[in-house]
Amino acid sequence: MDEMDEIVQEFLVESAENLDQLDRDLLALENDPGSREILSSAFRTIHTIKGTSGFLAFERLEKVTHTGESLLSRLRDGRQTMTTPIADALLLMVDTVRALLTSIEETGAEGEVPIEPVMDQIRGLMVDATSPAPAAAAEPTPEPTPESVPAPVAEPVAEAAPEPTPTPAAAKAAVRPKAEPKPHAVPVRTKRPRKSTAAAPAAEAGPAPVEAPLVAPVAVAAPAVETPAAPSVAAAAPVTDPSLGQKRTAAESSLRVDVDVLDTLMRLAGELVLTRNQLMRGVIELADPALSRTAQRLNVITTDLQESIMKTRMQPIDHLWSKLPRVVRDLGSQCGRQVRLTMTGQDTEIDRALLETIKDPLTHLVRNAIDHGIEAPEVRRAAGKPAEGTLNLRAYHNSGQVVIEVADDGAGIEIDKLTAKAVERGLRSSAEVAGMSEADVLQLVFAPGFSTAKEVTKVSGRGVGMDVVKTNIEAIGGTIELDSTPGKGTVCRLRVPLTLAIVPALTIECGDDRYAVPQVSLLELVALDEARATSAIEQVAGAPVYRLRGSLLPLIDLAEVLGIRSAADSAHRGNQVIAVLQAGARRFGLLVDRVVNTEEIVVKALSPRLKTIGVYSGATILGDGKVALILDVQNLARRALRADASDRLDEAFAATSAHVDSTAERLLIAGVGAGRRVAIPMSMVTRLEMIAVGRIESVGTREVVQYRGQIIPLMRLARYLGTYADEERPELPVAVYSRAGHSVAIVMDEIIDIVEQHEPIRSDINDHGFVGSVVVKDQIVGLLDVESTILAADPDFFTAHAAAVAEVGVESFEYDPPGSADQPAGDPYSADGRLLPAGAR
Amino acid sequence: MSKQYATFWLADALYGIEVERVREVLRQQDITHVPLAPTTVAGLINLRGQVVTTIDLRERLDLRHDDGDEQPMLVVVLVAGESIALLVDRIGGVVDVDDEQFEPPPDTLIGPARDLVRGAYKLEGQLLLGLDVDIAVAA
C-alpha cells in the first residue's frame, strides 16, 4: 500500500505541475488559437492526468479530464476553434481538477467536488459546435464520431477511441475553410491556419490506442514531441510508468527534494560557517603554518559549500510569475480591461523563502496595475493608445539585490488627484500638500488608509493595499519605489535581497553588548571623537541632530532606545560612532559606542516573545560564539522617529537645514595672539588638524609641512596679520584649505569656537586681509579674507589650480567665496571621520 | 500513578519539572542580554548553534537575587516546539513521585507562584513543588 501511496503522491505533484502548464497553454491558445504545438501540449497534459487517474481509479477525476480531453481533441483536430467561452470552460475544468487533486491530497479520496457543472458546460460547447459545422462548411462533413463524447464515462480505457475518428475527418477538415463555431459565438479569432497535414500525425497514431490504451498516450504524443521546443517534462512521461517499472527518462537530471531537507542543510551550513569562524580565530593565535593551510582549505570549502547550498534554495522567479498570466486574464475580464502581459528575466533567481514573501505584494501590484493603472479600452483609444494595455514584469539582479519591476502603460498617477485624496482622507493638510515635491506626493500612496480607486471594486480599493505591500517588502529588508508619468504609465520597483539566511552585517557595540546591523541599510559611518561628540551633536528643540554635509540628520541614541543608559550619560561616553542608516525613504543616524567589524552573519529566528519588542529582527551567533541581536532598522526608525509624523519630520528637517544653509554660516573663531580673534568661514576649511611643531620644515624661506603625502605650505596667521603668538606651543592648530589636490595650512594660535552666524557680514571695515567683520557673542571679529591670505602663502595657488582643474577635470573641493555661500562646502569633519564609503547600495 | 520529575533548587526550595519535558541541563553560559525584553527574560544563549531564550525563574517567581555565590545552571525544556532555557540555582536529581503524594497549593499561596506552582509532592523531609512549565515560560 505504501508503494501505492507513493504513486499517488507522485501523481499529485506531477499533476500540479502539469496543470500549471495547462493553464499557461490555454492562455497561450487564446492568443494563438491555431497553434498545433500548444494544442498538442495541452491535449497531452490532460490526457496524462486522465490516464493516470484511470489507473489509480479516481473516477470523477477521470470523467472531468475525459470531457476536457474530448473538447481539446476537437480543437486539436481542427473541428472546433478556440474561443473565449471554450477557454473559460477549459480553465474551469483545470480548477475543478485542482480541487479534486486537493481533496485527494487531503483526504485520500475525491470527495464531493462538484464536477457536473463544468462537464455540462464543456459538453454544451461541443454539441453547439457540431450542429452549425455542417451548415457553415460548404461540403457535407462526414463527422462520424464526435458524439462519442456524451458516452465516454462508461469505458474509460477504450476512450482513446476518439483518436482514430479524425482519420476520415482529417482530410475533410483540412479542406474545410473554417471550422465555424456556434452561432452565438462571441468575438472569435478566426485565424485558423489551414494545415492540410495538421491532423495527419494524430491520424497515424490513431490505430495504436485501440490495442494498448494505456500506452497510447505515448504513441499519440510522439509525433508532436519531436517538434515542440520544450514540452513539459511530465507531459511526455506518462505516469503509467511506475506500473511498468520503467525509469523516467527526463527526470534523470533533476531530483525532487523535500524543502525541509534543504532547510536542514542550510542550517547545518550556517553552523559550519560559525564553527569555521571560531576555528579560524584559534588557528590565527596558534600560528602553526601547517594547521593554517588546512584551516585555509576548510575556509574555502566551507564558503563553497555554503554557496552551493544557498543555490539549492534559489528558484527562478518564474515560479511566481507563471501564476500571473491567469491572474491577469481573470482580472482583465473582471475589470473590463484588455491586458497583454510581457515578462523579462523569468530566470532571475531568488531565495525560495523570499519568493514566498513577495508573492502577495507582487500579486497586489499586478492587481493594482490592472485595476488602477491600465484604462478601459475606450478610454485608451480616446487617449490615442492601443486598446490593449501592456503590463511588463521585469526582474534582474543588481548589486546583491533582486529588482522586480511592475510597469504598466496606463493612466499613471495624477498628482493632483493624489493630493486631493490625501487631503480628503485627512492624511495631510492642504498646506502641507502644496509644499510637497512630486516624489513626496507619490510616497503618499504608501500611507496607511490610502486608496485612489474612485470606488471600491471587487479587485482593489479597500484601503488595505500599498501600505501593506510596503510593510511586507520592508520586513524582508527590501524597498519599494514608485515612478509615474501621467498618461504614460506607472513603474513600481521592488528591491529585495537575494537571500535572508546569510546577510552581510556590521557589528557594533553599545553598552556591554554587541549588535548586528544589516549592511543593506547602512549608508556610511561617521566617527566622533570625544572632543567633538559634544559639539557636533546639536539639538533641534531637544531632538539631537548631526550636520551631515550640510543637512541635518536626525540621531537616535541606541543606548537610550534600548534603555541601557540615558542620553545625558551618553554625552560623556567619549568616542562614538554615527551609523547613517536608511529605512525606506528616511535617513537617520544611529549613535553607537563602537564599530566592531563587518561580517557575514547567519540569521537565526528569534522567539516570538522577543520579536514583539519590535527592535530586533533576529539573532545571530558571532565568531566568538556569543549571541548578538540583529537590530530591526525599519522598526527602530518607526519607533524612534514617530511613525506617522516621521515623513513630515523628514521634511521639517529638510526645511530646517535649508534654512540654516541659506542664512547661517558657520564660522571658525580663531585666536591669533595678543587677544585678537579672527573668523574664518567653515566653508573654506577642509579639515582642522593639530600639527606638531617638530614636523614643520623649511623650503627656502617658506615653512612647509608634510601632510598626507603632500608637501603643503604653512601660513602663520599671526605673522600675516602682524601680531605675535602668545606663546610657543608644541602643537599648532591648523585649518587646512584644499582645492584640486593642493592645500595650504593656515596656522592659528588657538581654536576658540565654532559659531553659527545669522547676522549679515558688515563690510564697512576693509582692513588688509579682511573682507569685513561680524559680531560674535557681542565681540567684533574680523572675517578673514581667505583668498588673499592663501595668495600670500602661495601666490600661484589659484592659477595653478585653475590649470590643474582644467587638466584633470576633477575638482575635489568646491571653492565658495564667502557671502555667496549658497552651497555650503560641507562639514569638514565628516569627510575625515567617515570610516566606510557609502554603504552597500 | 507514578511520575518522574527532574528537580532543581531555587532559593532553598525544591522544584520539579516532568522529566519528559527536559531536554538537557547545562552549566551557565554567556548570556546575551536583551534590552527592553521583560525582566523575566534573562537573555539569549548559544546552544550548539541555536539561539535559545533563557528565562530567569527567580525573577519569574519574584524571588530575590541575593545569594550571589550560586553557580546558576540552565534547564533546557521544550515548549511548543521551541527550546527554552530556565535559569536555576542548582540541579537536583530525578525523583519518582506518586499521585498520592500530591496536594494542591495551600490557599495562603499568593503572588506569581500561585500560577506557576501546580502543587506540592510530599517527599520525605522535603516538599517538591511541581512547576507548570508552560506558564513559567509564558511571561
| CATH number of the CATH domain containing A293 | 1.10.287
- Side chain identity, residue A209: P
Q: What average pLDDT score do residues A127-156 get?
A: 42
Alpha-helical (H) ranges within A77-145 are 84-107, 116-130, 132-136
* Residues A526, A490: Cα–Cα separation, whole Å: 37
pLDDT, position A580 = 92
Asked whether residue A293 carries a pLDDT value surpassing 80, the answer given is yes
DSSP string, A211-261: H-TTTHHHHHHHHHHTSSSS--HHHHS-TTHHHHTPPPSGGGG-----HHH
Asked whether residue A223 carries a pLDDT value surpassing 60, the answer given is no
pLDDT, position B5 = 92
Which residues, at least 6 apart from A336, have a Cβ–Cβ distance to it below 8 Å? A376, A377
* Residues A188, A34: Cα–Cα separation, whole Å: 12
The percent of residues above 70 in pLDDT, for chain A, comes to 67
Together in a domain, A612 and A481: no
Helix/strand number for chain A, H first, E second = 32, 29
Residue A571 counted as domain residue: yes
Which of A482, A832, A402, A839 is CA-nearest to residue A633? A839
How confident is residue A757, by pLDDT bands cut at 50, 70 and 90?
low
Give the mutation candidate from A267, A609, A620 for the B interface (greatest B CB count, under 10 A). Answer: A609
pLDDT, position A337 = 87
pLDDT, position B53 = 92
Asked whether residue A545 carries a pLDDT value surpassing 80, the answer given is yes
pLDDT, position A131 = 44
Q: Are A166 and A205 in contact (CB under 8 A)?
A: no
pTM score, whole prediction = 0.46
Which residues, at least 6 apart from A735, have a Cβ–Cβ distance to it below 8 Å? A668, A670, A680, A684, A685, A687, A688, A745, A746, A748
- Range of A416-420, A530-534, A570-574 with top mean pLDDT: A416-420
Phi/psi for A612 (5° steps) reads: -70, -15
pLDDT, position B16 = 92
- Range of A366-380, A519-533, A596-610 with top mean pLDDT: A366-380
How confident is residue A813, by pLDDT bands cut at 50, 70 and 90?
very low
Q: From chain A, pick out residues whose CB is under 8 angstroms from the CB of B80.
A: none
Task: Using CA atoms of A748, A753, A757, A759 in order, give the dihedral in degrees to the nearest 10.
Answer: -80
Asked whether residue A824 carries a pLDDT value surpassing 90, the answer given is no
Residue A656 counted as domain residue: yes
For the domain that residue A801 is a member of, what is the CATH number? 2.40.50.180
Question: What number is the ipTM of this complex?
Answer: 0.88
Together in a domain, A745 and A821: yes
* Residues A390, A488: Cα–Cα separation, whole Å: 11
Q: Which residue has the cell 588657538?
A: A750
Asked whether residue A153 carries a pLDDT value surpassing 50, the answer given is no
Q: Show which of A204, A227, A247 is a domain's final residue.
A: A247
Of residues A262 and A820, which shows the higher confidence score? A262
Of residues A258 and A5, which shows the higher confidence score? A258
pLDDT, position B84 = 92
Closest chain A C-alpha to B75 CA, distance in angstroms: 17
Helix/strand number for chain B, H first, E second = 3, 11
Lowest mean pLDDT, pick from A502-516, A541-555, A726-740, A761-775: A761-775
Q: What average pLDDT score do residues A22-32 get?
A: 81
Q: What average pLDDT score do residues A511-516 get?
A: 88
Chains A–B, number of C-beta pairs less than 8 Å apart: 61
Within the 221-280 window of chain A, which residues sit less than 8 Å (CB to CB) from chain B?
A: 267, 270-271, 274-275
Together in a domain, A289 and A409: no
Residue A254 counted as domain residue: no
Q: Is A31 helix (H, G, I), strand (E, B) or coil?
A: helix
Total domains in chain B come to 1
Alpha-carbon dihedral sign for residues A785, A786, A789, A794? negative
Q: What average pLDDT score do residues A580-606 get?
A: 83
How confident is residue A440, by pLDDT bands cut at 50, 70 and 90?
confident
Asked whether residue A649 carries a pLDDT value surpassing 70, the answer given is no
Together in a domain, A414 and A508: no
Asked whether residue A375 carries a pLDDT value surpassing 80, the answer given is yes
Which of A157, A27, A49 is CA-nearest to residue A98? A49
Residue A613 forms contact with B (CB below 8 Å): yes
Q: What average pLDDT score do residues A282-289 get?
A: 82
For the domain that residue B12 is a member of, what is the CATH number? 2.40.50.180
- Stretch (H or E) spanning A691: strand A687-692
Of residues A139 and B111, which shows the higher confidence score? B111
pLDDT, position A517 = 92
pLDDT, position A371 = 82
Closest chain A CA to residue B80: A607
Phi/psi for A639 (5° steps) reads: -65, -45
The percent of residues above 70 in pLDDT, for chain B, comes to 94
Q: Which residue has the cell 582645492?
A: A739
Phi/psi for A296 (5° steps) reads: -65, -40
Asked whether residue A423 carries a pLDDT value surpassing 50, the answer given is yes
pLDDT, position A449 = 66
Together in a domain, A554 and A598: yes
Average pLDDT of chain A is 70
Q: Is B100 helix (H, G, I), strand (E, B) or coil?
A: helix
User: At how many degrees (to 10) do helices A36-55 and A59-76 cross?
Assistant: 160
Together in a domain, A379 and A390: yes
* Residues A682, A754: Cα–Cα separation, whole Å: 8
Record: contact B35-A564, CB cut-off 8 A: yes
Maximal CA-CA distance, chain B: 44
Which residues, at least 6 apart from A460, have a Cβ–Cβ distance to it below 8 Å? A364, A367, A368, A371, A372, A451, A453
Residue A840 counted as domain residue: no
For the domain that residue A372 is a member of, what is the CATH number? 3.30.565.10
Q: A776 is in which domain, residue-wise?
A: 664-828
Lowest mean pLDDT, pick from A23-32, A483-492, A760-769: A760-769
Together in a domain, A491 and A509: no
Asked whether residue A505 carries a pLDDT value surpassing 80, the answer given is yes
How confident is residue A414, by pLDDT bands cut at 50, 70 and 90?
confident
Closest chain A C-alpha to B36 CA, distance in angstroms: 6
Q: What is the 3-state secondary structure (H, E, C) of A250-310?
A: HHHHCCCCCHHHHHHHHHHHHHHHHHHHHHHHHHHHHCCHHHHHHHHHHHHHHHHHHHHHH
Which of B61, B59, B86, B60 is CA-nearest to residue B73? B86
* Residues A567, A557: Cα–Cα separation, whole Å: 7
Radius of gyration of chain B (CA): 15
Of residues A670 and A230, which shows the higher confidence score? A670
Together in a domain, A567 and A652: yes
Record: contact B34-A613, CB cut-off 8 A: yes
Asked whether residue A457 carries a pLDDT value surpassing 50, the answer given is no
Record: contact A513-B46, CB cut-off 8 A: no
Closest chain B C-alpha to A840 CA, distance in angstroms: 27
DSSP string, A450-461: ----SS--SSS-
Closest chain A C-alpha to B74 CA, distance in angstroms: 16
Q: From chain A, pick out residues whose CB is under 8 angstroms from the CB of B84.
A: 607
* Residues A647, A470: Cα–Cα separation, whole Å: 15
pLDDT, position A772 = 72
Of residues A78 and A591, which shows the higher confidence score? A591
* Residues A525, A387: Cα–Cα separation, whole Å: 52
The C-alpha angle with vertex A810 and arms to A808 and A815, in degrees rounded to 5, equals: 125
Asked whether residue A652 carries a pLDDT value surpassing 50, the answer given is no
Q: How far is CA A19 from CA A49, A52, A214, A822, B70, in A?
A: 9, 14, 20, 65, 65
- Side chain identity, residue A471: T
Q: Show which of A637, A660, A683 is a domain's final residue.
A: A660
Of residues B122 and A709, which shows the higher confidence score? B122
Together in a domain, A73 and A215: yes
Total domains in chain A come to 5
How confident is residue A805, by pLDDT bands cut at 50, 70 and 90?
very low
Q: Show which of A497, A529, A545 is a domain's final residue.
A: A497
Q: How far is CA A378 from CA A347, A382, A384, B59, in A?
A: 36, 6, 10, 70
pLDDT in tens, A481-490: 888 888 888 8
pLDDT, position A298 = 87
* Residues A696, A229: Cα–Cα separation, whole Å: 78
DSSP string, A180-196: ---TT--S--------T
Q: Are B103 and B122 in contact (CB under 8 A)?
A: yes
Together in a domain, A304 and A322: no
pLDDT in tens, B80-98: 878 899 998 889 889 998 8
The C-alpha angle with vertex A565 and arms to A563 and A567, in degrees rounded to 5, equals: 105
pLDDT, position A777 = 66
For residue A531, give the C-alpha cell: 572632543
Residue B55 forms contact with A (CB below 8 Å): no
Record: contact A613-B82, CB cut-off 8 A: no
Which residues, at least 6 apart from A802, have a Cβ–Cβ distance to it below 8 Å? none
pLDDT, position A76 = 77
- Local structure of residue A641 (DSSP, 8 states): T
Asked whether residue A665 carries a pLDDT value surpassing 70, the answer given is no
Which of A785, A792, A768, A786 is CA-nearest to residue A702? A792
Q: Are B99 and B8 in contact (CB under 8 A)?
A: no
Q: B56 is in which domain, residue-wise?
A: 2-136
Phi/psi for A570 (5° steps) reads: -60, -35
For residue A456, give the C-alpha cell: 471600491
Together in a domain, A462 and A526: no
The percent of residues above 90 in pLDDT, for chain A, comes to 3
Q: Is A372 helix (H, G, I), strand (E, B) or coil?
A: helix
Residue A407 forms contact with B (CB below 8 Å): no
Q: From chain B, pick out residues whose CB is under 8 angstroms from the CB of A511.
A: 35
pLDDT, position A837 = 37
Together in a domain, A480 and A433: yes
Phi/psi for A203 (5° steps) reads: -65, -40
For the stretch A271-274, contacts whose Cβ atoms lie closer than 8 Å and that sit 24 or more positions apart, written own/partner, are A271/A602, A271/B48, A271/B49, A272/A302, A272/A305, A272/A306, A273/A302, A273/A306, A273/A502, A273/A600, A273/A602, A274/A602, A274/A621, A274/A623, A274/A625, A274/B49
- Side chain identity, residue A714: L
